[in-house]
Amino acid sequence: MSLKSSALKPLYRVYEDRLKRNLNRDLLPKHIGVIHDGHRRYARAEGLKDYAASYRVGMAKFVEFLQWTADLDIEAVTCWLLSTENLARPPEELQPYYKVLIELFNEIPSTAAGSNVRVRFIGSLDLLPSDLVEAAKRLEARCSTGDRRVTIALAYGGRQEIVDAVKDLVDGLAVAGVEAQEMAQHIDRDAMSARMYASDLPDPDLVLRTSGEARLSGFLLWQAAYAEYSFVDVYWPAFRLVDFLRALRDYSRTERRYGK
């Protein structure tokens, strides 16, 4: 930590406390979606020796973030840790990230942030290495009964989720004996919503993206139709509690109209 950062830390703590006191807990989002963006740019900006170093900082921040949401009684979070597009990156970038993810999944159950959580993975896990998939399944098994919902999107793409939902719906109609010419009558919003990867979760109220990119990149395309969005300039590994509290403050001041 730089001397400047050390000097500012007490000031940020005072600001954090002020933001917390002024938050209306009744107006906080119940479900938050997060796009954890900016690991590689953080590594370059900080002069780190390799991307793996920034990945570890980012995953430590992930655990910290889970604790922040627990402290604020946020009921559900959906965290996008790997997209299907990311899988096209070169192996020298992906392999270190897979290793850090395995470390993270093994660590979560032993942390305070991992208590009282129910973890579930969504996405095309069949595209991932077997050791990473096994670590994900172990985490789901070890964190299967908590009250707070943590959904981790891994090898996930929003368009693919919608395609999979349509396929599942059509397959179900065919099994039920619905004729092809009648299927369109059975395809509606409710039927589609019921076939999303995590259909039992309420739609996200707030979607947060770090690194300054102001786009969803396909994250929860169906579910986030009426979510509020917060695009934060800092890279994910540098994301602070004060950044999170500001996003929540702004959300709590928003009049949600749902297109009305």
CA–CA gap between residue 249 and residue 88 (Å, rounded): 37
Identify the band that residue 260 occupies on the pLDDT scale cut at 50, 70 and 90.
low
Q: Is residue 170 part of a domain?
A: no
Structural domain containing residue 245: 27-158+203-252
Q: What is the pLDDT of residue 5?
A: 57
- Which of 216, 225, 230 minimizes the C-alpha distance to 258? 225
Is-catalytic flag, 86?
A: yes
Whether residue 2 is predicted with pLDDT greater than 50 in this model: the reply is no
DSSP bridge partners of 156: 83
Residues present in the chain in total: 260
Q: How many domains does the chain have?
A: 1
Catalytic residue among 86, 164, 168, 203: 86
- CATH code of residue 120: 3.40.1180.10
Whether residue 4 is predicted with pLDDT greater than 80 in this model: the reply is no
With tokens 């993975």, the residue in question is 121
Q: Where are the beta strands (DSSP E) in 160-260?
A: 206-209, 228-231
CA–CA gap between residue 185 and residue 63 (Å, rounded): 45
What's the DSSP call for residue 146?
A: -
Q: Is residue 53 part of a domain?
A: yes
Of residues 176 and 20, more confidence is placed in: 176
Q: Is residue 209 part of a domain?
A: yes
Whether residue 8 is predicted with pLDDT greater than 50 in this model: the reply is yes
Q: Is residue 78 part of a domain?
A: yes
CA–CA gap between residue 152 and residue 208 (Å, rounded): 15
Q: Is residue 246 part of a domain?
A: yes
Is-catalytic flag, 37?
A: yes
Of residues 121 and 93, more confidence is placed in: 121
Identify the band that residue 51 occupies on the pLDDT scale cut at 50, 70 and 90.
very high
Q: Is residue 18 part of a domain?
A: no
Q: Is residue 187 part of a domain?
A: no
Q: Is residue 164 part of a domain?
A: no
Average pLDDT, the chain: 94
Catalytic residue among 17, 24, 37, 190: 37
Whether 46 and 54 have beta carbons less than 8 Å apart is answered as: yes
Contacts of 198 (CB under 8 A, 6+ apart): 78, 120, 122, 151
